[in-house]
Amino acid sequence: MYISERKFTDWQLTGFGNAPALLFETLESTHSLMKAKASAGEIAPGTLIVADTQTAGRGRHERTWDSPAGKNLYFNVLIPLEEIPLSSAPQITQVAALTFAEVFKGLQDDSNIKGLGNGDIGKVSVKWPNDILCGKHKFCGILAEVVYAKGADGTPRPTVSMGVGINVNSDPTDYVHLGRAITTLKDICGQTVNREKLLQTLIASLERAIGQFRAFGITPWVAAWRKMDQFIGARGTVVVNNRCTDQNRDGNNEDITKKTGRIIDMNDDGSLQFQCDDGSVETVYSADLEI
């Protein structure tokens, strides 16, 4: 995983089920391109789109995702929903986050054994619903959306377009202007990571996980989250804002609802159990969780 990587355009990748991988040195957004091509019937489910840099990368709620060239991973995979109820599609992002976190945790543990890892940064874990952190420093974000991909017969079928951004070989100083705690795999592991090898591992792991999700639902990943989680019992703030952006996320926008309290648990369906400071206990299905 730490060998020198070859030129980006020479990477050998496939999507799910050996579907093609499309590599672009520069894109506005892998997510935008995937949505457009899937909706037009130009690509098959399972297809992987990868960019070496993005000029208009976005995270949840249209927040900016910085995408420096030649350092990180920015990709989208079109996940078929055969045998997965449409109502369960949001849980796929949680499955992906926990699957990826296990890969990252393995790298961190291996680096720490070799005495190369950053021992001061904390442990890799998943902050509900799907942000991957090391300690309290974010380094991987996942954005997913149901897209009706046109099949060969012209019939639109539901799929999930999952976009992922991972800070791999950039430096924390690259993100000072964002004003948020951010780290990178290089900082966590103390060494440069081969992005091609990492992406091959992540896609293979995710494909296996989606197969298990079809068979067993979210339950195994709820158990995995409980084992990995470092936030149960901690104080936090649930932020509900469907129009949250970089500009208004910290403001007094009337569309924003913030509730402070304590994290109790993840429920069996992947929702968050949260006790507000007024003593009420709420089940949260969609929100940002600030720690």
Q: Are residues 130 and 174 in the same domain?
A: yes
Residues 24 and 150 in one domain: yes
Cβ proximity of 161 and 78 under 8 Å: yes
Domain contains 62 = yes
Tokens 């968050």 label which residue?
Answer: 272
Residue 1 lies in a domain: no
For the chain, the domain total comes to: 2
Stretch among 31-40, 63-72, 101-110, 147-156 having the lowest mean pLDDT: 63-72
- Claim to verify: residue 277 and residue 185 sit in the same structural domain: no
- Over residues 215-224, the mean pLDDT reads 93
The rounded mean pLDDT for the chain is: 90
State whether 220 and 252 are in the same domain.
Answer: no
Do residue 103 and residue 247 come from a single domain? no
Select from 209, 227, 245 the last residue of a domain. Answer: 227
Identify whether residues 126 and 171 lie together within a single domain.
yes
What's the whole-model pTM score?
Answer: 0.91
208 plus 259 within the same structural domain: no
In this structure, are 74 and 157 located in the same domain? yes
Residues 99 and 140 in one domain: yes
CB distance 123 to 264 below 8 Å = no
Q: What is the largest CA-CA distance in the chain?
A: 57
Mean pLDDT of 220-232: 88
189 plus 267 within the same structural domain: no
Which element (helix H / strand E) includes 107? helix 91-113
Q: What is the DSSP letter of 54?
A: B
Mean pLDDT of 93-103: 97
Say whether both 164 and 24 belong to one domain: yes
Provide the pLDDT confidence category of residue 252 given band limits of 50, 70 and 90.
low
Inform me whether the pLDDT recorded for 115 exceeds 50.
yes
Residue 153: the pLDDT is: 86
Question: What is the bridge-based pairing of β-strands 131-134 and 21-24?
Answer: unpaired
Mean pLDDT of the region 230-241: 89
Q: Is residue 41 part of a domain?
A: yes
Q: In whole angstroms, give the CA distance from residue 285 to residue 278.
A: 20
With beta carbons less than 8 A apart as the criterion, state whether 46 and 80 touch.
yes
Least confident of 49-63, 224-238, 253-267: 49-63
Choosing from 203, 227, 251, the residue where a domain stops is: 227
Q: Which range has the worst mean pLDDT, 62-71, 138-147, 254-263?
A: 62-71
| 78, 159 Cβ separation under 8 angstroms | yes
Domain boundary residue, one of 188, 209, 227: 227
Among 176-180, 224-228, 240-244, the range with the most confident prediction by mean pLDDT is 224-228
246 Cβ contact list (under 8 Å, min separation 6): 63, 64
pLDDT at 121 over 80: yes
Number of neighbouring beta carbons within 10 Å of residue 235:
12
**Confidence at residue 246, expressed as pLDDT on a 0 to 100 scale:** 46
Assign residue 281 the CATH number of its domain: 2.30.30.100
Q: Are 78 and 37 in contact (CB under 8 A)?
A: no
Domain that holds residue 136: 8-227
Establish if 240 belongs to a structural domain. Answer: yes
Q: Which one of 49-58, 136-145, 224-233 scores highest in mean pLDDT? A: 136-145
CATH code: domain of residue 196? 3.30.930.10
HSE, side-chain direction, 13 A CA sphere, residue 248 = 15
Q: What is the mean pLDDT of residues 157-173?
A: 93
Same domain, yes or no: 213 and 238: no
- Mean pLDDT of the 17-45 span: 95
Provide the pLDDT for residue 175: 77
What is the mean pLDDT of the segment spanning 135-146?
93
